[in-house]
Structure 1
């Protein structure tokens, strides 16, 4: 057996390892599907200027990203996107939403929308914090 540390591993290796973990998870997990979900806003030229990406599985909506372009911030666009993706999750039977946000991102925004901090990873990645937040839908 040869154990190697790879400073710059090939994407093929990372994809292989991800695939193997997913295979094991699906054999042992109580749900058998994880479905992608997204919301987008495009400008008149068809360029995405805001949106969110999530996954639904079991009772959960997992919000991976919510982004609003600089020109739209402060205009309630993020609130509208969040409401749309939460509604879409509820339509799929989700009862809770989980997300992560960093100390310089959107914690106060999510708190105003009913999310509560479940766990804080302090000193992440060095002096900041990462917040893990949940909301009952």
Structure 2
């Protein structure tokens, strides 16, 4: 017959024992058991960590658990750089999708800029805020739109993609210009050539 203990602030051993019961059950039903944790950190010139991201790669999914940037280093593109790096690591390990959750005051407006789609939310958490769940298809390339490689103005049309392998060349058409983008192995290594376009003129060469 079972006895019950109620404890506030349980120790790590208690939590580990509960988790192991669930993990043992999961192992009987999951199609794959290979689960890998992965982290990337950014450091300043003194070696202090100023940002980082870590997550878990499990089957075809990359679950981003934490992404954080120190206050004095925000607004400099460090967060998007960390995100793209762990996404690329996920691709290299065979992940097709990414999953994460965030609060309204954290990354609710940040992640959609990088191709994430909201699939759920709860309101009133913990009192007046909200929590949001996002997914992303890692097989899809995000259209260029950063300061380093701005996309064509007005509606963008993918005219040509030479292959799915790296390096790859994409050609986009806007209403007044073409943009050729060359993506190398890392999503952060993007070469961009902007060319003006006038109605009736031929598109720029693909090479």
The TM tier, using the shorter chain, reads over 0.9
Report the Cα offset of residue 5 of structure 1: 2.1
CA deviation map 1:66-88 (0-9, x unaligned): 11111110011111111100000
Residue segments in structure 2 that go unaligned for 5+ positions in a row: 139-207
Report the Cα offset of residue 96 of structure 1: 0.5
Residue segments in structure 1 that go unaligned for 5+ positions in a row: none
When structure 1 is superposed on structure 2, of 15-24 and 3-12 the one drifting more is 3-12
TM-score for the superposition, normalised by structure 2: 0.64
The secondary structure found in structure 2 opposite 1:108 is coil
When structure 1 is superposed on structure 2, of 75-84 and 43-52 the one drifting more is 43-52
Aligned residue runs from structure 1 range 15-34, under 5 A: 15-34=16-35
CA deviation map 1:96-127 (0-9, x unaligned): 10000001101111011111110001111121
> Greater Rg, structure 1 or structure 2?
2
Aligned residue runs from structure 1 range 1-137, under 5 A: 1-137=2-138
> Matched residues in 2 for 1:84 and 1:9: separation?
35
Report the Cα offset of residue 8 of structure 1: 3.6
The secondary structure found in structure 2 opposite 1:83 is helix
> Would the alpha carbon gap of residues 55 and 8 (structure 1) be closer, same or farther in structure 2, given more than 3 Å must change?
closer
> Matched residues in 1 for 2:8 and 2:63: separation?
31
Q: Number of aligned residue pairs: give it.
A: 137
TM-score for the superposition, normalised by structure 1: 0.94
Misfit runs of 4+, over 3 Å: none
When structure 1 is superposed on structure 2, of 9-18 and 126-135 the one drifting more is 9-18
> Would the alpha carbon gap of residues 5 and 34 (structure 1) be closer, same or farther in structure 2, given more than 3 Å must change?
same
The secondary structure found in structure 1 opposite 2:109 is helix
> Matched residues in 2 for 1:28 and 1:136: separation?
25
Q: Which has the higher contact order (CA 8 A, sep 6+)?
A: 1
CA RMSD, aligned part only?
1.1
> Matched residues in 2 for 1:29 and 1:15: separation?
20
When structure 1 is superposed on structure 2, of 13-22 and 82-91 the one drifting more is 13-22
Other-structure match for 2:191 = none
The secondary structure found in structure 2 opposite 1:28 is coil
